Amino acid sequence: MRMQHAQSLPYASSLCGACYEVCPVKINIPEVLLDLRAQVTDQERGQFRRFLDPMYLGLRIANLIFSEPGLFHAAQFFGRIGLRFFTRKDGWIHSLPSLAPNGPRPATCAACPARPSTAGGRHAAASR
């Protein structure tokens, strides 16, 4: 079944199951909606425009980084370097760039603690 005009419909439900509970003939709408969601995903899988979706790309990149230990460690390493641009001398992050020019100001937060030295074995600093 082509879903080109109702692709968002299967996602409108919270899949709470209340309709199934009260349905006198036990039509399992949540199960039907899950199947429709799979059909929408399958249809979109063949379309190039999904690569233009920032969320799709972000999740694909995150999936790649979290599934490759080397990439994950590299991301942590560069993340710490990047964090230095936002961390003040007091070790706190006072502001982050906002996509919305008048967007909300993030709360001040402490930067990630420095990684404990591995001298004398892993987490030696933490156990002292």
Which region, judged by CB under 6 A, interacts with ligand SF4, from 8-16, 50-58, 74-82, 89-97? 8-16
Alpha carbon distance 33, 26 (integer Å): 15
Contact 111, 91 (CB under 8 A): yes
Sequence-distant (≥ 6) Cβ neighbours of residue 109 within 8 angstroms: 92, 93
The pair of structure tokens assigned to 121 is 């074995």
14 binds ligand SF4 (CB under 6 A): yes
Q: How far is the CB of 2 from ligand SF4 (least distance, A)?
A: 22
Residue from 2, 5, 16, 103 touching ligand SF4 (CB under 6 A): that is: 16
Q: Give whichever of 18 and 125 is closer to ligand SF4, judged by the CB atom.
A: 18
Instruction: Check residue 59 and report its DSSP letter.
Output: H
29 binds ligand SF4 (CB under 6 A): yes
